[in-house]
A = this chain, B = another copy of it.
Amino acid sequence: MKKLINHLDHVLAESLDGLAAAHQDILTLGARHQFVRRRVPTPGKVALVSGGGSGHEPLHAGFVGRGMLDAACPGQIFTSPTPDQMLAAAEAVNGGAGILFIVKNYSGDMMNFRMAAEMLDLPNATVLVNDDVAVEDSTHTTGRRGVAGTLVVEKMVGAAAEQGADLTACKALADAVNRSTASMGVALSSCTVPAVGRPTFQLGHDEIEMGVGIHGEPGRRRIPHASADAIAAELCGAILKDLEPGRGQRVLLLVNGFGGTPLHELYLMVNSARRILNAAGLDVVRHLTGNYVTSLEMAGCSITVTTLDDEFLALWDAPVHTAALRW
C-alpha cells in the first residue's frame, strides 16, 4: 500500500487540518476534528448538517459553505461519525430555525444520526438519501444505498435554506429531490482502506463490477470489461427504469469519478450517457462532471440523473461557495 500519509492514526486529522488551512475563507474545524463548519454561520437559517465515513472526498466537508451545507461530520475512513460529533456540529451551526440532517442510507450512519436526532434539544428533521438503484439491501445497508445523488440533495436544499425555506419545507424538498434522483456505478478497480492495507475486494484482470457501492460493496454482477457505451447503457438503463421520466423531461447528468479514473474518461462517459439519454427523449440541460463522491482511489464512475422542474433548476443554478463546488 502506497499512500501519501504519515501515520495511520493521523490520516483524518492531518487531512482535515490541510482542508481547513486551504479554505480558511470558507470553513473552520470543530474541537478535536469533530466537524467542519462554515466560518460564518447564518442566523435564522435552517442549518444543514451531513456527514459520513471519510474516503469519499470532497463529500461532505468539501460541500460546506454558502448555498450548501452548514456542517459536515467526518468519520474515520468508510466508518460512520459518532452521535456526539453530530450533536456538536448541530449546536455549533444552529441558527434558530432548526437542523436538517442529510444522511446517506447506511446502517451505521442511520443509527448514529437517529441517536443524535433523539438527543438533540433543537427542532430537527432527517432526510435519508437512497439514490443507488443498483441493489436493494447491501453489505452495510438495508434498502438502497445513498451515493452521488447526495450531492444533488445537498446542493438544492442548501440553496433553498439559503433563500429562507423553513425546516418543514427543507425536509419536503430534500425528500422530493431524493425521489427525483437515481444513480448507479461501476468499478474498474478496488480501493484500499489505509488501516486495512489491502484492497477491499478483488477484480480479475478483465473484470468490472456493475452496480458497485462507494465502499466497494458488491453490485449487481461482475462482467468482462465492456465498452464505455455498453457500461453507460446499463447504468442509464437502470436509472431510467427507476425514474421513468417522460419524453422531453429536463435532467441533470452527474458523471462522478470514484477517484482513480482520469477526467478525460469521465467526459467520454458524459458523451456516451448523453447519447443514451437523448435517445430516450430526455433533455440534458445541466451537467456536473468530476470526482465528487469518491471511493478513495477506486477506478470507475457513477452516473446520476435528476429530473428537473423549474424549481429544481433554479435551486441547482443558485450561487454556491464551497471548497469543491463554486458558482
**A residues touching B (Cβ–Cβ < 8 Å)?**
2-7, 11-12, 14-19, 21-23, 54-55, 57-58, 62, 188-189, 206, 208, 225, 227-229, 231, 253, 259-272, 274, 284, 287, 289, 291, 294, 296-297, 299-301, 326-327
25 contacts between A and B (CB under 8 A): A2-B225, A4-B261, A4-B300, A5-B228, A5-B265, A6-B227, A6-B229, A12-B264, A14-B271, A14-B272, A15-B265, A15-B267, A18-B267, A18-B268, A18-B269, A19-B267, A21-B270, A22-B289, A23-B287, A62-B263, A260-B260, A262-B296, A297-B299, A326-B326, A326-B327
A287–B21 CB distance below 8 A? yes
B261–A297 CB distance below 8 A? yes
Of chain B, the residue at the smallest CB distance from A205 is: B2
B62–A268 CB distance below 8 A? no
Of chain B, the residue at the smallest CB distance from A263 is: B57
A260 vs B287: C-alpha distance when bound (angstroms): 23
A4: chain B residues at CB < 8 Å are 188, 228, 231, 261, 265-266, 268-269, 300-301
Residue of A19, A264, A266, A301 ringed by the most chain B CB atoms within 10 A: A264
B289–A291 CB distance below 8 A? no
Known A57-B263, A262-B294, A262-B297; 9 more pairs at CB < 8 Å? A2-B208, A4-B266, A4-B269, A5-B268, A18-B268, A18-B269, A21-B274, A291-B291, A326-B327
Shortest distance from the beta carbon of A300 to any chain B beta carbon, whole Å: 8
Residue of A12, A253, A296 ringed by the most chain B CB atoms within 10 A: A296
Shortest distance from the beta carbon of A291 to any chain B beta carbon, whole Å: 7
A34 vs B99: C-alpha distance when bound (angstroms): 51
Shortest distance from the beta carbon of A286 to any chain B beta carbon, whole Å: 9
A89 vs B60: C-alpha distance when bound (angstroms): 39
A16: chain B residues at CB < 8 Å are 267
A19 vs B189: C-alpha distance when bound (angstroms): 24
A12: chain B residues at CB < 8 Å are 264
Q: Which 8 pairs between the two chains have the least Cβ-Cβ distance?
A: A18-B271, A18-B270, A18-B267, A22-B287, A57-B263, A4-B265, A15-B264, A2-B188
A264–B299 CB distance below 8 A? no
A6 vs B268: C-alpha distance when bound (angstroms): 9
**Given known contacts A6-B227, A269-B4, is B263 in contact with A294 (CB within 8 Å)?**
yes
Shortest distance from the beta carbon of A242 to any chain B beta carbon, whole Å: 22
